[in-house]
Each structure stands twice: as C-alpha cells, then as structure tokens.
Chain A
Amino acid sequence: MSAFSASLRRRSALSLLMALLCGLSFAAVWPLSPPLLAANFGSFAKGRVVVGIALAGEDGSVRASEDGEVAFSAEEGTLPSGLPSALGSFLIIEQRSDMAAVYSHLAPGTLSTLVRKPKAGDAIASPGKSGWIEGPGVVYQVYDRRASSWVNPYLLLPPLTDEAPPAIRSMALTRGAKSYAIGAAASVPQGTYGISVDIADPSDAPWSAGTLAPYIVRFSIDGVEVSQEVFDVARAKDGKLTLFAKNPMAADDLRTAEGRYELGERLFTRGRTVIEVRVEDASGNKRSASWTVLVE
C-alpha cells in the first residue's frame, strides 16, 4: 500500500499541477450555467461516492468546458451486448493533458456529434434526465489518463461564488456498538474510539443527490493536526475505489452507515482532550468546531 500510495501521490501531484497550470492558462467554463450543484466530488449518493459534479438545470445548453475532441458518444438505452447505460446519453470529450471529460445524463437525441472538435463554451447537448439521475441537468466528470484517476472538476473550473460555509453539525465517538454523541463537552470511559463528524454543505440546486461534500477536512487533537483529507482525486485499484492523493482511503471507509465522515480511530487516556475539526469548501469558505472530551 505504501508503494502504491507514494506512486499515486507523485503521479497525482504531477497531473494536478499540470491541470492547474492548464486551468490558469486556458479559460475553462462551467458546463451548465448558472452552476447549481446537486452533487459534488466526494458527496455520497445512494451508497456510492460521487467522483464528479452534478449540475441541476433543464434550460439552455450543456457547453464544452474546454477545447477538446469527441472520443465517444452513446445514446440512452442499451449499448451492444445488452449493457444498459446508467449514464443515459453521454459524451466523452478528450481534453488537453490527457484529461477525458464525461458529460452524462444528457437529453437523448441532442448530442452534438457533427462537431468533432468543440471549443470551450460550444453547445454540445441539452441538459437531460436520461439514465440514473434524480433530476434534470448534467453530470460532469474528469478522468486523468496519466494518473488513472478521477479529478475533482473544481480544480479545473472557474471558482464558484458561494459564500455559505459548510456546516459541522455534530461529532460522535464510537466504541463497538456503543456511540457517544458529543456536545460542547462530554465524558467517556478510557479506550479506543472511532471519531466521526457530521458535515454538510448546503446546496442551492432545485434537487440534490445528497449532501454536498467539503473540499478539505482537517482534524486535530490537542492542537496537533492528525489528518488532512483533500477531496482532490479518486482512483479504482483492484476493484476498490480509493479517495485522496495524499493518504488514500477506501471510499467504503469514508463514511459511517449514518453518513458521518470517519476521521479515524484514537486511543483516549484519562484526562481532558480537545478535538478540533476545520472544514473548507471549494470556494474557500471555512468553518471550524471543537469539542472537549473528559476521559474517565
């Protein structure tokens, strides 16, 4: 795992750097305007982690986010050999730097296949509700071929003008089947606990696939940062999805059954412990919360 992590880190860092440089030097556009986020990278919908963004809307056109070349298009229904298209009607556009952009759940029959090389901002389809999606819009994903990873589209698109910070609703310590909801202060017996926190970022979209995910989650104990999770990349390896370029985590371990973010396990010894969580969304809005735990 360590060799894999190091390799993924190196490749992802390089790819992200290139992507960011490209993002600075070329103007990318949001595929749907205004960009109303119904789901984002790392959010949780129907038992799965989303590795793209869902933009809600049924008016206007879906636009190419960058200059590119159509690599694949498929209409809603079944692909040959009976494989259903859960993405409905979808387009894959090859962008610079070995990035492939996927635009899915488009309105059937509206895919622009005549223009082989659309420019950034060109209309490529109409937003739709084809395939498995809760409401009309488009799901936009970016696949980095060099790093074999899904990249958070936030890294490539213009910043969102969102001023609402994410909310940190509660924190819980779990040992075995027992769970302790922690308020401003609480006391628990000495032992090893799983720490989880309930984070939510509000969505302005008319429909949503679930609560939006933050971009960065930092977790400190007694003033020392224990972990920093950046929702930057996701990669499937050996049939399992992992998240984060630094310290990859299995997507299945990201959340509890109740939907709280797992921050890891810690041994709590007798005394007073201060747990602090700081979260940041893609627009840079921050929120922090801390809890004092008295260990008996």
Chain B
Amino acid sequence: MEEIGKRRLAAALVVVALLAYFLVCAFPLEKELVLVPAWSTSISAASAAQAGGASAKQKGGSTAEASGEVIPFRLGDRYGYFSPDGSILFSAVTDYGVALAPDAYATYDRLSEGFSIKSPYGVELARVAATGYPFFAAGRRFVIGPDQMTISELSESGAAKWSYQLASIATAFDASPPLAVFGLLDGSIVGLDASGKAVLDFAPGGSRIAGVYGVAVSPDGLLVAAVTGADKQRLVVLEKRSAAYRVAYHRYLSSDYRRPVYIAFTGDGRRLAYESPSGIAVYDKTSKSETIVSVPATSRLGQTMRGGQLMVFLSGSGDVKRLICTALPDRRVLDVPVKASLSFVEARNDSLFLGADDSLVRMDFEER
C-alpha cells in the first residue's frame, strides 16, 4: 500500500515538473517571413500607354516625383525608371550604352564624343563634351576614355572636375561617395578621392600573374576589398587606419578566375559578398570569418533588407534563375525560381523589386 502511494507521488511530481517546464521555459515560435505580392506591371504596355499620350509622368506629373523616390532599371537594351508604387516613369531602348543612377542617366554611342545627362523626368541636367563612356556610381559621375585608362569625374554642370591617367588598363571598379577604386591590369588597386587625388595605391602581389579581378569599397570608404592575382588568387581586405590603408584580412582562394569577379560590400559595410567556386562567400568584418551560400553568384551582390538581416540576390544564368534571400550569416529563408532570360532584383527596406523580361514586380516582406 505504501509502495503504491510513493509511485503516485512520483508520478504527480513528474507531471508538475513537466507543467512547470512548459510554463516557465516556453518561448514563442519565431514569426515566419512571407513575401506578399504588391503589384506587377508590364513594361511594354506602360511604354505603349506613354507613347499614346500618357507621358505626363516624365514631365513631372507623377507622385514619384513629389516623393522623389524613383528606381532605375535595366533589362538588356531596355532601361528606364519606375516608382515604388508601380508607375513606370519611362522606358526606352538604348542603341549602345546607358549610365544609370537614381538621379540621372546618360545614353551614349559606341564612338561617343559627347552626351547629355538627364534627370529621370527627362530634363537635361548637363551637356558633356568628352570622348569616352559615362558611368555613374555612389552619386558620382565619371567618364572613362577610349584607352580604358583615362578617368574623369564630372561636376553637376558636366564639366570635368579632374582627370587621372591610370598606370594601366582598368579591369575592375567600385565607388563610394569619398572613394572611387579601380583595379588595374598591373595588379594594383588605385583609390581616388573626390578631388581626383590618389589616396590609395597598393599592389597586393603574392601571385604568379598580377591582376585585379574585382574590387569593392564600403559605403564609408574605409574598407576596400579585392580579388587579385592568378595562381594563386587572393582575397585582400584593406582598412583605412589613420591616413593610410593597411591589410586587415587576406587569404588565398581556391578560385582561378580569369574574368571579372562579382564582389560587393553590404550597405552597412559590415559584410563583403564575393564570388567563389563553392558559391557566394560572405566575409564578416567584425568576426573576420567567412561563410558560404552555396549557389552561383550573379551581378548585384551585397544587397540587404530589413536592416541588414537579409541578403538578397538572383543566382544562376540562362532562362531560369533563383531569387534567394538568406538570413545572415547563412540561413536560407527564400529560394524561388524566376523564369526570365533578363532579370534584376532591387531591395529597398522591406520591399523587393523584381524585373523579369517585360515585367516589373513588387513583393513586400511581412512577418506572420
């Protein structure tokens, strides 16, 4: 009888302990992130409507102009601007090339000896008489000469602020407001400040064949990263300490690319994403560690959302690509196919803008 009482007491204690565990140690399930479609629009239909007289938007009639937020896009030869609410400001087809930025664009011919810089609303901002091709980055406007070695930066009026002759051919480029960085055939990395002064001239060396296959600069200009050399290829991260850039991190890579390599810092400058044979490698400057997202890289690496928590990119080539979002450092939260030969993805806050051939789509992240 006493034995039975003890057993009942033990069972009751176990039940109480379990109840206590569930009540005290329980924590809510993590909310799930879902992509909710907001709108979808056809670029050609919008262009046709524009040609039919609805071009008031380019003359300043859109709500986007009032808010000032427009997003440039390029799909093959077609380029233009759209607003986050889904209206297409304009789209056009370029004969040869176009330099695109959120605040301006310029089309140019193959034998360009001058071009106009226009606002997204079609207003001519400047007329530039320069031989070469324009390219815009980080709010700065540049021209590269026919020799791929002469760089000029343009002022707001289109006049050349400065001109700089690089020592050899530019094979890689990235810019931030304080620093424009060029990777050269001779294996050196040259950084030019806003006045055209070379504040960085560094040749990593250490490889049998010198060269720079990709460069990236953090938005504040304090970090510069590059994939350099061949046999063996290296990742080099430079950090500005006091007045000079010094090597903060480097390692030999397993890659042996002999073509341009995708590499970019995230918007907060904390992480660096670059192309590697095993996928997209992500370097964290805080921990000085690397993780791999095992999918092939494409252009526009380094885009993040939700305060830098999510990294977004399109992966693959051909007619089917994959839209991938990873929760940093390496947890994949979204992986969907995108059937399009031409595509781009643009991340803004909690919204994703996807271009796929003739369509523009907006999708918003929501927690549920």
Contact = CB atoms under 8 A, between A and B. Distances in A.
Interface of A: 45-48, 50-51, 69-74, 78-87, 92, 94, 100, 102, 104, 113, 116, 129, 131-134, 143, 145, 148, 150, 235-241
Given A80-B263, A84-B135, A100-B185, A238 B148 contact: no
Given A94-B209, A132-B110, A113 B258 contact: yes
Contacts of A100: 185-186
Contacts of B175: 81
B196 interface: yes
A179 B134 CA distance: 37
A92 to B, nearest CB: 6
Interface string B111-131: 111000000000000000001
Chain B binding surface, main DSSP class: strand
A84 B172 contact: no
Contacts of B136: 82
B346 interface: no
Given A69-B209, A74-B260, A145-B187, 10 more contacts: A71-B209, A83-B170, A84-B135, A86-B144, A92-B211, A102-B185, A131-B110, A235-B167, A236-B165, A237-B167
B209 A83 contact: no
Contact of B145 (A48, A72, A82, A240): A48
21 contacts: A74-B171, A79-B173, A80-B172, A81-B137, A81-B174, A82-B99, A83-B170, A83-B173, A84-B133, A86-B132, A86-B144, A92-B169, A94-B209, A129-B110, A131-B146, A132-B131, A143-B185, A148-B168, A148-B186, A236-B167, A237-B167
Nearest to B196: A239
Contacts of B146: 45-46, 48, 86, 131-133
Interface residues of B, number: 55
Contacts of B258: 70-73, 113, 116
Given A48-B147, A82-B99, A236-B166, A74 B259 contact: yes
A293 B199 CA distance: 50
Contacts of B97: 78, 84
B256 to A, nearest CB: 9
A145 B209 CA distance: 10
A237 B164 CA distance: 10
B149 interface: yes
A71 B170 contact: no
A242 B339 CA distance: 52
B147 A86 contact: yes
B152 to A, nearest CB: 11
Contact of B144 (A50, A83, A116, A129): A83
A143 B211 contact: no
B47 interface: no
Contacts of B264: 81
A239 B165 contact: yes
A56 to B, nearest CB: 15
Contacts of B169: 87, 92, 102, 143
B88 interface: no
Contacts of B147: 48, 50-51, 86
A237 B186 CA distance: 13
A46 B259 contact: no
B148 A143 contact: no
Contact of B113 (A46, A85, A86, A241): A46
B211 A71 contact: yes
Contact of B173 (A45, A70, A82): A82
A286 B114 CA distance: 39
Given A72-B211, A74-B171, A145 B186 contact: yes
Contacts of A116: 258
Contact of B135 (A82, A148, A241): A82
B214 interface: yes
Contacts of A48: 131, 145-147, 150
Contacts of B172: 79-81, 83
Contacts of B113: 46
A238 B150 contact: no
A116 B230 CA distance: 12
Contact of A132 (B112, B171, B196): B112
Nearest to B217: A81
Query: In this complex, which of A45, A69, A71, A240 has the most chain B Cβ atoms within 10 angstroms of its Cβ?
Result: A71
Nearest to A77: B97
Interface string B164-200: 1111111111110000000001110000000010100
B299 interface: yes
Contacts of B168: 143, 148, 150, 236
Contacts of A235: 167
B360 to A, nearest CB: 20
B225 interface: no
A113 B97 CA distance: 25
B353 interface: no
A128 B294 CA distance: 37
B132 A73 contact: no
Nearest to B132: A86
Contact of B214 (A80, A102, A132, A133): A80
A82 B172 CA distance: 9
Query: In this complex, which of B165, B174, B175 has the most chain A Cβ atoms within 10 angstroms of its Cβ?
Result: B165
